Amino acid sequence: MSSAANRAAALFKSEFGGEGRGFFAPGRVNLIGEHIDYNGGRVMPCSLSIGTYAAARRADGRIRLVSADLPGQNAEVALDELSSLPLTPGAFRRFGWAAYPLGVAAQLIIRGYPVGGFDMAVCGDLPRGSGLSSSASLEVLTCAVLDGLYGPWLDGRQAAEVSLAAEHECAGVNCGIMDQFVCAAGVKGHALLLDTHTLDFEYEPFDLDGDVLLIMNTKKPRKLTDSKYNERRGECDEALAAINSVLETPRDALCAVTLGELDACRAVLSPVLFRRARHAVTENERTLAAAQALRRGDNAELGRLLTASHDSLRYDYEVTGGHLDAIVDAALMQEGVLGARMTGAGFGGCAIALCRADRAGDVSRETARVYLEKTGIKCEIIPVQTGSSPFGKA
Ligand code: GLA
């Protein structure tokens, strides 16, 4: 058992007495398809072997939640009270971290699932604030716990939709569905190619054959991310409205516009909105090309696409920032690196680099050294290990 799983089990015992049943939901890393899950684009994330663990048990009429990562920040609420709360961030704010699991329970209740009370102790092993989706992991974990204790009711897509509703309505973060989807439906040894417009998905065998993917954590705290995130979403909506004012057949998502059509609409877009839209359109194409490269084992092409994605996020979408650029540039200088890019929302958090397995040690050391010299921050570099999600089926 992992040490986080042990800590969850031990905390359960000391807080509630006896044994809880064990559950796990992974974190995620996105290979490619960034900032397009809210533009109807294709994304290709992987579920990780690290994530969030729970020990949980049915209880009568109330929910009690404790976290080994946030000692003392316990939450307790009667099921009746939870059922009567409005589904707004304002109503859930007082629960702190527990707004995520309570938001999921409330979303299941409102959908008519016969949710009962429960006690749950959680513990995570995702590096904190790293942008590897600790909140989606916790939401999906709660779906798995309630589905396991009172269900079964849910498949991966339903668990993702319930988790996303909790994130939007109870936590107040207006994200796309990528993180919740892959944390719910990812499968070990595979990337998940998801069409965020239709929610159709395929599992792509994630076999890098002699190469490895490194996760490089900049350790740069992410402060402005949320406001910039919403700002980018707003810019994409504005760009789509302007494009639709010109196109004969309006589109319901930015990624449904072709590059040719976008060029033809240049006159109605400000230079900034044009670049935002160009990122969305080209990133969608890169994701499909990357899935094909992965399928035919063309890692050189996959690496090229990763770096092109970073450049687009850096210059067109402007969500990288100095720390992510520094770590990606440092990695790209190293022999044996095929490509590198930021991953997740940006402005801090993690980047990834694809590199020859026999070079991974030197690449990690040298990248960390150059990054430290440039930023004064010690980064952390680990190889990606994929893991399975509670609702994933290959
Ligand atoms: C965050 C959001 C996702 C997605 C990424 C960027 O992780 O939660 O929905 O938009 O940023 O690709």
Kindly state whether residue 130 falls inside one of the protein's structural domains: yes
Side chain identity, residue 109? I
Nearest to 389 by CA among 17, 20, 26: 26
Q: How many CB atoms lie within 10 A of CB 69?
A: 18
Give residue 130's pLDDT: 87
List pLDDT tens digits, range 43-82.
999 999 999 999 999 999 999 999 999 999 999 999 999 9
Shared domain for 366 and 240, answered yes or no, is yes
Shared domain for 12 and 143, answered yes or no, is yes
List pLDDT tens digits, range 81-116.
999 999 999 999 999 999 999 999 999 999 999 999
Shared domain for 182 and 306, answered yes or no, is no
Give residue 225's pLDDT: 52
Kindly state whether residue 34 falls inside one of the protein's structural domains: no
Shared domain for 164 and 242, answered yes or no, is no
User: Which of 159, 191, 223 marks a domain boundary?
Assistant: 191
How many domains does the structure of the chain reveal? 2
Give residue 221's pLDDT: 72
Kindly state whether residue 112 falls inside one of the protein's structural domains: yes
Atom of ligand 1 nearest to the CA of 38: 10
Kindly state whether residue 145 falls inside one of the protein's structural domains: yes
Give residue 223's pLDDT: 62
Ramachandran angles phi, psi of 233, nearest 5°: -60, -45
Determine the distance from the C-alpha atom of residue 312 to the mean position of all C-alpha atoms in its chain, rounded to a whole number: 19
Kindly state whether residue 201 falls inside one of the protein's structural domains: no
Atom of ligand 1 nearest to the CA of 173: 8
Shared domain for 50 and 187, answered yes or no, is yes
Q: Is there an atom of ligand 1 within 6 Å of 179 CB?
A: yes
Is the backbone of residue 247 left (phi > 0), alpha (psi -120 to 50) or beta?
beta
List pLDDT tens digits, range 205-250.
999 999 999 999 999 876 645 678 999 999 999 999 999 999 999 9
Distance, CA of 203 to CA of 193 (rounded, Å): 6
Is the backbone of residue 389 left (phi > 0), alpha (psi -120 to 50) or beta?
beta
Give residue 356's pLDDT: 98
Shared domain for 17 and 83, answered yes or no, is yes
Shared domain for 272 and 313, answered yes or no, is yes
How deeply is 394 buried, as exposed, middle or buried, from its count of CB atoms within 10 A (0-12, 13-18, 19+)? Answer: exposed
Kindly state whether residue 200 falls inside one of the protein's structural domains: no
Give residue 145's pLDDT: 98
Q: Is there an atom of ligand 1 within 6 Å of 345 CB?
A: yes
Shared domain for 73 and 109, answered yes or no, is yes
CA of 56 to the centre of ligand 1 (A): 29
Kindly state whether residue 155 falls inside one of the protein's structural domains: yes
Would the CA dihedral through 295, 354, 48, 193 be positive or negative? negative
**Could you say which of 69, 119, 147, 179 is catalytic?**
179
Distance, CA of 42 to CA of 35 (rounded, Å): 10
CA of 376 to the centre of ligand 1 (A): 27
Say whether the peptide bond before residue 152 is cis (omega within 30 degrees of 0). Answer: yes
How deeply is 374 buried, as exposed, middle or buried, from its count of CB atoms within 10 A (0-12, 13-18, 19+)? Answer: middle
Atom of ligand 1 nearest to the CA of 136: 8
Shared domain for 148 and 253, answered yes or no, is no
Q: Which domain holds residue 263?
A: 213-384
Shared domain for 113 and 162, answered yes or no, is yes
Q: Is there an atom of ligand 1 within 6 Å of 154 CB?
A: no
Q: Is there an atom of ligand 1 within 6 Å of 35 CB?
A: yes
User: Roughly how many angstroms between the first and final C-alpha of the chain, as a whole number?
Assistant: 24
Cβ partners under 8 Å of residue 7, min gap 6 = 53, 68, 123
CA atoms within 13 A on the CB side of 255: 23
CATH of the domain at 333: 3.30.70.890
Distance, CA of 261 to CA of 255 (rounded, Å): 11
Shared domain for 262 and 377, answered yes or no, is yes
Give residue 226's pLDDT: 62
Length of the chain: 394
Q: Can 209 be counted among the known catalytic residues?
A: no
Nearest to 79 by CA among 100, 54, 110, 56: 110
3-state DSSP assignment of residue 194? strand
Q: Assign 290 a pLDDT band (cuts: 50, 70, 90).
A: very high
Kindly state whether residue 227 falls inside one of the protein's structural domains: yes
CATH of the domain at 74: 3.30.230.10
CA of 33 to the centre of ligand 1 (A): 10
- Residue 316: DSSP 8-state: I
Q: Assign 393 a pLDDT band (cuts: 50, 70, 90).
A: confident
Ramachandran angles phi, psi of 30, nearest 5°: -95, 125
Shared domain for 316 and 367, answered yes or no, is yes
What's the chain's average pLDDT? 96
Q: Is there an atom of ligand 1 within 6 Å of 341 CB?
A: no
Which tokens hold the place of 183? 């944390």
CA of 30 to the centre of ligand 1 (A): 9
Contact 82, 103 (CB under 8 A): no
Distance, CA of 281 to CA of 311 (rounded, Å): 14
Distance, CA of 100 to CA of 50 (rounded, Å): 19
* Neighbouring-strand partners of residue 48: 386
The mean per-residue pLDDT over the stretch 355-372 comes to 98
- Using the structure block, give the residue that is written with the tokens 């064990």: 22
